[in-house]
Structure 1
Amino acid sequence: MAIERKPIRRGGIRTAGYDRSARVLEIEFDNGNVTQYSGVGEEIARRFLASSSPGSYFKDNIDEEFSARRVK
């Protein structure tokens, strides 16, 4: 599954993208790791992608709330 990611470049996050039909949020971190989080609702993904503080939003709402699979 190829998810188109957009630049974030804040809070330790380089890029991120969301696949609405699969409910998967894909995040590329500054260290080069790419992780997919499954079961993420559209509203949470939208708020994360629009956040002025994506690192904090990620830690508070995504990091330990959804199952993660490292893809790179």
Structure 2
Amino acid sequence: MERQPVRSSNIVSVGYDSNSEILEAEFKDGSVYQYFDVPKDEYDSLRSASSHGIYFSKNIRDNYKFKKQ
């Protein structure tokens, strides 16, 4: 999955696969997580948020099942 860089103190890049509804996030510590069943509009909202980190913490981190890569 291709990830796009974001400006954040904690997140390096995010990517999304619309067929599987998987959102992938790479963090500054090098870890990569995949979040499952994330709607496309949620990913779009993350990408357009004024603070990617705050949006991610409030709307994605604890709201979707995930797996560390």
Both structures adopt the same fold (TM-score exceeding 0.5): yes
Residue by residue, what CA displacement relative to the aligned partner does 1:3-52 show, whole Å, maximum 9, x if unpaired? 10011131410011000010000000011100000000010010001212
Gaps (5+ residues) in structure 1? none
Percentage identity across paired residues of the two chains: 35
How far apart are the structure 1 equivalents of 2:8 and 2:25? Answer: 12
When normalised by structure 1's length, the TM-score is 0.91
Map of 2:29 onto structure 1:
31
How far apart are the structure 1 equivalents of 2:9 and 2:58? Answer: 13
When normalised by structure 2's length, the TM-score is 0.95
The aligned length equals 69
Map of 2:41 onto structure 1:
43
Question: Runs of 4+ in structure 1 displaced over 6 angstroms?
Answer: none
